[in-house]
């Protein structure tokens, strides 16, 4: 199960943040057998994305943020089924901004590094690490030697 989540998270990461040509080649290691209706409200992902690739991307989100689908997707109060096309939840709007931000970090900034390795990409998990809001990083106390002297005035 952990392996499955991990591999779909990786696939999702490469799907969302690679070029469209890469997208067309990628195929999920683990086929998801949920029958999903054709998406009607995609604004960031390619509109012709396959159902398997869409689900791999979504499972990447849940794994990276440590949440369930309904963290971003509105649930019908009567049927308790998620309405995936609805934009009612602000978290879904935030997620779209995050998707564009991550695409820009990779496509604009990292890609412009002279020695950028193809394997080094920022994904949702790079920052979120299983948390819906990333935790602040606190550097561990330095172990060796006294702190450097204050700069000379």
Q: Is 62 in the site for ligand HEC (CB under 6 A)?
A: yes
- Of residues 39 and 107, the one with the C-beta less far from ligand HEC: 39
Shortest distance, CB of residue 153 to ligand HEC, whole angstroms?
36
* 134/34 Cα distance (integer angstroms): 30
Shortest distance, CB of residue 66 to ligand HEC, whole angstroms?
10
Scanning residues 15 to 54, which ones bind ligand HEC (CB under 6 A)?
Answer: 16, 36, 39-45, 54
Residue 24: phi and psi, rounded to 5, are -65, -30
Q: Is 99 in the site for ligand HEC (CB under 6 A)?
A: yes
Q: Is 10 in the site for ligand HEC (CB under 6 A)?
A: no
**Token reading at 30:** 């683990």
**Token reading at 96:** 């779209």
**Closest by alpha carbon to 124, among 73, 56, 70, 40?**
56
Q: What is the largest CA-CA distance in the chain?
A: 69
Q: Is 107 in the site for ligand HEC (CB under 6 A)?
A: no
């Amino acid at each position: 199960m952990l392996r499955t989540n991990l591999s779909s998270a990786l696939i999702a990461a490469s799907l969302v943040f690679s070029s469209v040509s890469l997208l067309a080649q990628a195929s999920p290691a683990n086929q998801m057998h949920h029958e999903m209706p054709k998406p009607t409200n995609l604004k960031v992902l390619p509109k012709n994305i396959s159902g398997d690739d869409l689900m791999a991307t979504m499972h990447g989100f849940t794994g990276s943020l440590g949440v369930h689908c309904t963290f971003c997707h509105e649930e019908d109060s009567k049927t308790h089924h998620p309405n995936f096309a609805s934009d009612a939840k602000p978290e879904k709007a935030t997620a779209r901004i995050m998707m564009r931000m991550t695409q820009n970090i990779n496509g604009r900034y990292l890609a412009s590094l002279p020695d950028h390795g193809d394997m080094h990409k920022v994904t949702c998990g790079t920052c979120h690490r299983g948390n819906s809001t990333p935790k602040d990083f606190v550097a561990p106390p330095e172990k060796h030697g006294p702190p450097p002297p204050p700069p000379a005035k």
